[in-house]
């Protein structure tokens, strides 16, 4: 008897940045009620599962990734009842719901950290975090030279109860995000409690934030080279990818094994394929984000190399690959591929490439509308902590987080009846959901059709690909089920291989595939 593969193995996940999706209470900030209001749209789009960025209780110093209570929903997003209602409605429509969890750090407003500040050096309360004495005379220097991902040092000095300058605490990200010490068994026990809390409420899995970051090296040694970027593949960075992280994931997997329907998805920035594959061994994570396609220029050879690399990274451990072109932390693909009509054409083509590949696909909200980054937001509107932490030298990630346009001719395009938390460009009038649903050849219509074909057609079966011969500047591969995908990154139209055209991202020109386009054949 053939065993049915798990639902997540080839699922299309739709990433929702809740602040920017839809607002149901007129405060200008998207919420879970807004997501629930748009559930019909998500069903129409055809996605299998949602991935919700953080909605737990948080002071929002870093868009919710600073969690004060991981077992509650922030009132900003509608509270716990709104989450329960959303999960129930999604399940009625046969859509799974996964959510972000943040195991690497907490908020400074988490009860544990508040207790740590009120406790003495060496206390059990401080042992849940990384509190250390400073270096130099009177401890005025940080304990090591690590930088924060968001700029500045990765250490902040506290004032002790008696008013004197005291110890320092570690925060790989913002000062409002103190790192948890996973060598303390209380930390793992509490995280298991969090996992079971949500799984028992019907959540179908989690995207684990910074899944390569929870384990720190013994002694917290200095970095040989003090550099930092948002998140990059750097296997020599002692802040990440330490061997101890794998025992943490094994412990978490034992929890997931009690919930066979659920999936764990790790955010893993690791360059070496053998080390990447370790995260998705059968007793660790189910899936791990691979960002190769999102980092690859629109060039056939580079795309082919990224695909091969991504497949190789999981082949030895038998895990499904994952594919994504954008998320809430990186520039949108339309802008990366050149912007304007060219950027949209190339983004449409690359969507067809990723949906043709075996494995799980993650679509960032707004990609299906062909939205570009908004790189000209006024400085007064910027909210990303990167802007302040960098001394106003890095604008941060707000440009890919601008709210979605739903309907109408003028901003805020039905996103809210209030003032949106980030301004929406007036030139998005032709990119609204309403406008694109009424247009057969819109980017949204192409996404809907591509997702539907991927779900229905047997030609998309098989867990590997075979490369076809193709002209310079193009690539072509075949799935075992019979699907052929062709991408043209050259300047001129190309002839297609034999087969019946199933779908193309742009109209053919004299039976040839134009530049900046992709096609599926069977």
Catalytic positions are 209, 267
- Dist CA 498 CA 138 (whole Å): 75
Per-residue DSSP letter, 339: S
- Dist CA 274 CA 317 (whole Å): 9
- Dist CA 65 CA 86 (whole Å): 21
Preceding amide of 17 cis, omega within 30: no
Do the Cβ atoms of 61 and 107 come closer than 8 Å?
yes
Alpha-carbon dihedral 342, 347, 349, 352, rounded to 10 degrees: -170
Closest listed residue to residue 354, CA positions, set 207, 496, 505, 205: 505
Residue 360 forms beta bridges with which residues?
A: 322
The CA distances from residue 435 to 22, 442, 451, in Å, are 17, 9, 20
Residue 350 forms beta bridges with which residues?
A: none
**Lookup result for tokens 């008013």:** 163
What does the angle CA 278 – CA 238 – CA 398 come to, to the nearest 5 degrees?
A: 90
Q: What angle, 0 to 180 degrees and rounded to 10, lies between the N-to-C axes of helices 185-200 and 245-256?
A: 30
Q: Is the dihedral of CA 372, 373, 376, 380 positive or negative?
A: positive
Do the Cβ atoms of 355 and 12 come closer than 8 Å?
yes
Do the Cβ atoms of 97 and 52 come closer than 8 Å?
yes
- Dist CA 366 CA 137 (whole Å): 52
Closest listed residue to residue 333, CA positions, set 317, 319, 316, 345: 345
Do the Cβ atoms of 121 and 133 come closer than 8 Å?
yes
């Amino acid at each position: 008897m053939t065993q049915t593969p798990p639902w997540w193995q080839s699922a299309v996940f739709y990433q929702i940045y809740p602040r920017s999706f839809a607002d149901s209470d007129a405060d200008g900030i998207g919420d879970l009620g807004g997501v629930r209001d748009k559930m019909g749209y998500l069903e129409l789009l055809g996605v299998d599962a949602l991935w919700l960025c953080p909605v737990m209780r948080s002071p929002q110093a870093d868009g919710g990734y600073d969690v004060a209570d991981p077992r509650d929903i922030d009132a900003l997003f509608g509270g716990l009842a709104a989450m329960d209602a959303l999960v129930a409605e999604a399940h009625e429509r046969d859509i799974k719901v996964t959510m972000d969890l943040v195991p690497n750090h907490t908020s400074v407003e988490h009860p544990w950290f508040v207790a740590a500040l009120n406790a003495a050096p060496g206390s059990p309360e401080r042992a849940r975090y990384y509190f250390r004495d400073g270096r130099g005379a009177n401890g005025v220097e940080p304990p090591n030279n690590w930088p924060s991902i968001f700029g500045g040092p990765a250490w902040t000095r506290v004032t002790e109860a008696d008013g004197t300058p005291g110890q320092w605490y570690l925060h790989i990200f913002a000062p409002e995000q103190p790192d948890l010490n996973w060598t303390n068994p209380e930390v793992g026990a509490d995280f298991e409690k969090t996992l079971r809390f949500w799984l028992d409420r019907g959540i179908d899995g989690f995207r684990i934030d910074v899944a390569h970051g929870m384990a720190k090296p013994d002694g917290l040694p200095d970095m040989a080279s003090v550099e930092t970027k948002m998140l990059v593949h750097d296997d020599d960075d002692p802040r990440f990818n330490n061997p101890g992280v794998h025992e943490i994931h094994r412990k978490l997997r034992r929890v997931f094994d009690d919930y066979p329907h659920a999936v764990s998805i790790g955010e893993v920035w690791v360059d070496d394929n053998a080390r990447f594959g370790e995260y998705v061994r059968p007793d660790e994570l189910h899936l791990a984000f691979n960002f190769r396609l999102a980092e690859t220029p629109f060039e056939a050879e580079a795309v082919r190399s990224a695909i091969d690399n991504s497949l190789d990274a999981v082949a030895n451990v038998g895990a499904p690959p994952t594919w994504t072109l954008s998320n809430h932390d990186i520039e949108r693909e339309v802008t990366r591929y050149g912007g304007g009509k060219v950027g949209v054409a190339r983004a449409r083509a690359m969507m067809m490439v990723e949906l043709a590949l075996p494995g799980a696909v993650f679509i960032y909200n707004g990609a299906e509308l062909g939205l570009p980054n908004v790189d000209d937001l006024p400085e007064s509107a910027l909210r990303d902590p990167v802007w302040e932490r960098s001394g106003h030298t890095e604008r941060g990630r707000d440009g890919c987080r601008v709210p979605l346009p739903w309907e109408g001719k003028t901003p805020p395009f039905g996103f809210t009846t209030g003032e949106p938390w980030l301004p929406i460009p007036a030139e998005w009038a032709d990119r609204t959901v309403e406008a694109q649903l009424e247009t057969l050849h819109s980017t949204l219509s192409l996404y809907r059709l591509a997702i539907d074909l991927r779900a229905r057609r047997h030609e998309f079966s098989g867990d590997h690909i075979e490369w076809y011969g193709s002209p310079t500047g193009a690539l072509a591969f075949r799935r075992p089920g019979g699907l052929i995908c062709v991408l043209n990154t050259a300047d001129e139209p190309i002839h297609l291989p034999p087969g019946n055209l199933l779908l193309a991202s742009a109209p053919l020109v004299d039976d040839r595939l134009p530049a900046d386009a992709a096609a599926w054949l069977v």
